[in-house]
Amino acid sequence: MPNTGMSATVVAGVDESEAALAAVRWAAEEALRTGRRLLLFHAGIFDTADLARHEHTKNSPVLLERAHRWIRRAVRVAEATAPGVPVEYVVRVGLAPDLLVGLSAEAGLLVLGSHGIGGLRGVTIGSVALRVAATARCPVVVARGRVKPDGPVVAGVDGDDRVLEFAFEAARSRHVPLVAVHAWQAPRTGELHAAEPREEQALRERVEHVAGRYGDVFVKSRLIRDRSAAHALMSVDDAQLVVIGSRGRGPVAAGLFGSTGNRLLAQSACPVAIVH
């Protein structure tokens, strides 16, 4: 039976960029794969100065005409990508990051393009994507990089079961393996031989705690000695999705408030999911 309600909705943020259309395609495929509906969102005002000038003209057809033209293009892209998926769209006046975070309170998944949302002038991918991904109330996917439909899903293991649960669900719906990665900094003393088996055992236990509910998903745990959690996650060949947490413990959990999330959002060769 199809899912119903906003919690069963994939929301794609749409701005006037090809990156946004890539996000629409990714979101449409995800909605088709998981039996959810797709909501396309576009903000008609792009920065604070514009908002101040137009705060009393929220229904102006001139102001919103361009936004409606662009989002209708996005609807056509979504319908061509995933025929049969229910597609709706919303155009609002306001700052796109703030409005998207508001929508995330009821959405099941939020998908953003790799170059930011809402056409915020002078703002880079790091600040736009980071702001929405770090404060959203549902999982966020930043659609970027290549499409590898047969590649594994990669999860950064940080002690938060929600990350592994999201990754297992993603791998199951795609019928691909899951690679659970933990980046580990070896001790500086001569304790390596004793410490590494303990780390490997702890990783296996964390993964097995969740894996029992996903017996149909092949999972491989990888303990990678690397100072950079982002580098460890990006080292998995042909990944089609990297999944990390927004907060948590451990080097991967430095996440969106440190170098890991910033580097993944800027450099990952495939889409990145941030789980809240």
pLDDT tens-place string over residues 32-74:
999 999 999 998 654 444 444 444 444 456 557 778 888 999 9
pLDDT tens-digit map of 229-258:
899 999 998 999 999 988 644 444 334 445
Whether 273 and 166 have beta carbons less than 8 Å apart is answered as yes
Window from 35-44, 59-68, 200-209, 219-228 with minimum mean pLDDT: 59-68
Going by DSSP bridges, is the β-strand pair 153-156/219-225 parallel, antiparallel, or unpaired? unpaired
Nearest to 183 by CA among 267, 136, 251: 251
Residue 132 or residue 81, greater confidence: 81
Question: What was the pLDDT predicted at 239?
Answer: 96
- For position 16, what pLDDT does the model report? 81
Residues 115-159 have pLDDT tens digits of 644 444 434 454 566 788 888 999 999 999 888 899 999 999 987
